[in-house]
Amino acid sequence: MATPPRRIALTGGIGTGKSFVLRHLARCGVPTLDTDVAARDAVRPGESALAAVVARFGPGVLRADGTLDRAGLGHLVFADAAARRDLEAILHPVIWRAVFEWLTGLQATGVVAVPLLFETGQQQQFDRVLLTDCPEDLEVERVMARDGLDEVAVRARVSAQMPAAERRRLADAVVDTSGSEEDTVRRLEMIWSGWGLPALEPREP
């Protein structure tokens, strides 16, 4: 029998259900790390990464209270591939340092949510890659509802991602999130048990 994985990466396009899957795993007692949270921590006031972002993009990316205007910066970088690469060059080293520190201290199977896993070439750091996936129109619909963006803006963000077919080719397993939350959980549980991991059982809050 194959050894169950210890380091699992969770990835997928925007609006494909990564956050829901990660929350469910956490409720089941699985150690989790969300790199979106690490990214927010990296640009808190006083952090060197925030100073670097301001140096590159100007003080207009800051709110009046000195915090980063993430939405405004997002509009800027998704409209400019070079700007997006510059932002990633600032943030990714900081984020991956946090990931590696977390993985080093991992005592059991854990899951790291990494939206740009394949784009950063870091999939080799993990035993398995789990992908969330759904049809593009549903992806767009979810992000429009979640972020209050119009369809043109959302489709621009989707088109800036790695093609979904390529992500599916690179992943070890795919969770189709196009159905109900219950359907998604069932699909996740099938993959989890197929990897020889203990059953996922939500714990009391």
Examine residue 202 and state whether it is found in any structural domain, yes or no: no
Question: The CATH number of the domain where 170 resides is what?
Answer: 3.40.50.300
Same domain, 50 and 81: yes
Asked which of 58, 78, 105 is the last residue of a domain, the reply is 105
pTM of the model: 0.90
Contact 15, 140 (CB under 8 A): yes
Q: Are residues 163 and 131 in the same domain?
A: yes
Decide which of 50, 80, 105 is a domain's last residue. 105
Give Cα 115 to chain centroid, integer Å. 3
Provide the domain limits for residue 43.
38-105
154 and 81 fall within a common domain: no
Q: 95 phi and psi, to 5 degrees?
A: -65, -45
Strands (E), the chain: 7-12, 32-34, 110-113, 128-133, 173-176
| Sequential pLDDT tens for the chain (205 residues) | 567 889 999 999 999 999 999 999 999 999 999 999 999 999 999 999 999 999 999 999 999 999 999 988 988 888 888 999 999 999 999 999 999 999 999 999 999 999 999 998 999 999 999 999 999 999 999 999 999 989 998 998 898 899 999 999 999 999 999 999 999 999 999 999 999 999 999 986 6
Q: What is the pLDDT, as a whole number, of residue 2?
A: 63
The answer to whether position 205 is within a domain reads: no
